[in-house]
Structure 1
């Protein structure tokens, strides 16, 4: 199963939040600033919308410089940060993403990584479809647009998310990874800033392709082993860093299988359902976990994903409980006209069972 990672980046986030709050400013240059308080113009630009960026206004430049570049734009707005408001919008969007992925890594107020390898079975077409759905759901719940990169690792996903902004989606398949990276300027690789870019340029290395072909031992002499190895691998599209979910957050056990042929009714999947339940139950048993939430995942032949779940009255650990609950959910979820390609089971909301029967197991008997 191929590893499949998403990087989701909320577009020009602070300025977009301000446009959301006051829609009539959307077509004006909007600049969100960190004011130092010393003078009216002291401080730096945090974020600018795309109207302001056409004038050369970007993050990190002094407010005074931004105002000079927007001198001919009489309707430009310079607004202070409203962090609490931005957090509220961010939390709504992140919650949508968290509910649609296997592993969720919160990077900042406006970006995150997600691993969807299990949910998509390593199928990049399914991952692209899921990324489109996440974009649509984030827009529905927050009215905020985001850009998404889909790739076999975190580094590539982050590069890809920046490829077609705003409101973009770029997928880099494993077989295309090295070619995709090779044409990029070296400073497009995460972690390579202006100083490192200039040092690489002195070695004649301007593109990632140049860097990938360069002698690793010479790089080590110049930058040290750790940095040189990272840059050399990244230039080839290689990155093994896992998506790190927060401790205690979004823990679940999931199994998804591809059906031998598309199913149109629930009964055609009963055999597969039982096998998946046995596999999930074996995993929970090994970890001495009791579960309270049981869900099913249906991936249709058009790659649409449908999820349904049920919360039990108390934590359970038995195979019978898992199977009967999953089958009941499946029977309710399958409707006429569906053509189901993949079937999955997910359990979550765990507690340590310590190998003992739970109250709900006894209730079922």
Structure 2
């Protein structure tokens, strides 16, 4: 099964948050700054909206330089960071993305990875559909736009998310990965900075294709074995780094199976549901966990995803509770005309179950 990895990047995030708070400034150059406090103009630009970027204002330049470039834009705004407000907006958006991921990895206040391999079965049409839904749900939940890259690995997904900003969606299918990366300038590869780019140029290496074909022994001599191996693998579109749950993120255990035949009624899936529940419960028990949130995932024959969940009264790891709850959810979720291709069960909201008893332990069986 091919991996299907999404990189989601919130567009010009801090400046977009300021536009959200005050829509009247949206068509003005907006520059969010880290003021040092020494003088009125000391500090650096954190983020600029696309109106300001047309004047050459970008992240990392001195505020004084930004003001010089915007000298003719009398309505330009230079605003201080409001991190707590940005965090609140980010949480709303991240929650919408997390609900659509098998594995979710936050890598900053304005970007994250989502592995959707299980729920898509490695199907990139389905992954594209999930990406469009994420964009819609982020806009609905947080009122901001984001750009999404879809690819067989994290590196390519991150590159792809920057291809069509703002509010873009770029899909790099496994069969197109080599062709996609080979035409890129070498500094599009994450980790290749200006100094490395310039040294590679001196060696005649300007594109990822050039780098992929370059003598590995010369690369090792120039950059060391670790860096040389990473760069050449990246230039070939190779990246095996997994999407990993970030420390402190809400975790989930999920299983999804493809049905032998599309199902039009809940009863047609009871057999598969029992097996999925058993697999999920075994994983929960091995980790000495108890769950409180139970969800059912239905992927339809048109690749639409339907999710329904319930919160239990107490944490449990009991198979019977899991099975009866998911069966009730499935019965309620099925609608007339719905045809289900893939069925999944998800549990979350965990606590350590070692040595603990829950209300379910005292209920008659």
- TM-score category (smaller protein): over 0.9
Residue aligning to 1:56 = 56
Partner of residue 217, structure 1: 217
Q: Equivalent residue for 1:124?
A: 124
Q: What aligned pairs does 1:1-365 form with structure 2 within 5 A after superposition?
A: 1-354=1-354, 359-365=359-365
Distance 1:47 1:352, change over 3 A: closer
Q: Calculate the TM-score normalised by the size of structure 1.
A: 0.95
Tell me, yes or no, if the aligned pair for 1:321 and 1:361 is still in contact at 8 Å: no
Between the aligned partners of 2:147 and 2:45, the Cα distance in structure 1 is 21
Aligned partners of 1:15 and 1:31 also within 8 Å? yes
- Stretch of structure 1 that moved more, 173-182 or 194-203: 173-182
- Cα deviations across residues 71-111 of structure 1 (Å, max 9, x unaligned)? 22222112121222111111211122122212222211111
Distance in 2 of aligned mates of 1:338 and 1:44? 54
Q: Check conservation: 1:44, 1:61, Cα contact below 8 A.
A: yes
User: 2:352 and 2:38 mapped to 1: Cα distance?
Assistant: 55
Distance change in 2, residues 1:353/1:62 (3 Å): closer
- Offset from partner CA, 1:184-227 (integer Å, 9 cap, x none): 00000011111110000001000000000111111000000111
Query: Deviation per CA, 1:18-68, whole angstroms, max 9, x where unpaired?
Result: 111111111111111122222222222111111111111111112222122
Three-state SS of the structure 2 residue aligned to 1:242 is coil
Rounded Cα–Cα distance in structure 1 between residues aligned with 2:87 and 2:221? 44
Query: Residue 358 of structure 1: CA displacement?
Result: 5.2
- Structure 2 gaps, min length 5: none
SS of corresponding position for 1:9: strand
Residues 261-289 of structure 1: CA deviation (Å, up to 9, x unaligned): 22111111112112212222332333343
| Secondary structure of 1:38's aligned partner | coil
User: What is the CA deviation profile of residues 306-364 of structure 1, one whole-angstrom value per residue up to 9, with x for unaligned ones?
Assistant: 11112222233332222111111100010112121111011223344449985414415
* Partner SS, residue 331 of structure 1: helix
8 A contact 1:146–1:166 mirrored in 2: yes
Q: Could you say if the C-alpha distance between residues 143 and 352 of structure 1 is closer, same or farther in structure 2, counting changes exceeding 3 Å?
A: closer
* Unmatched runs of 5 consecutive residues or more in structure 1: none
Residues 176/355 of structure 1: CA separation in 2 closer, same or farther (3 Å cut): farther
Q: What's the Cα RMSD here?
A: 1.7
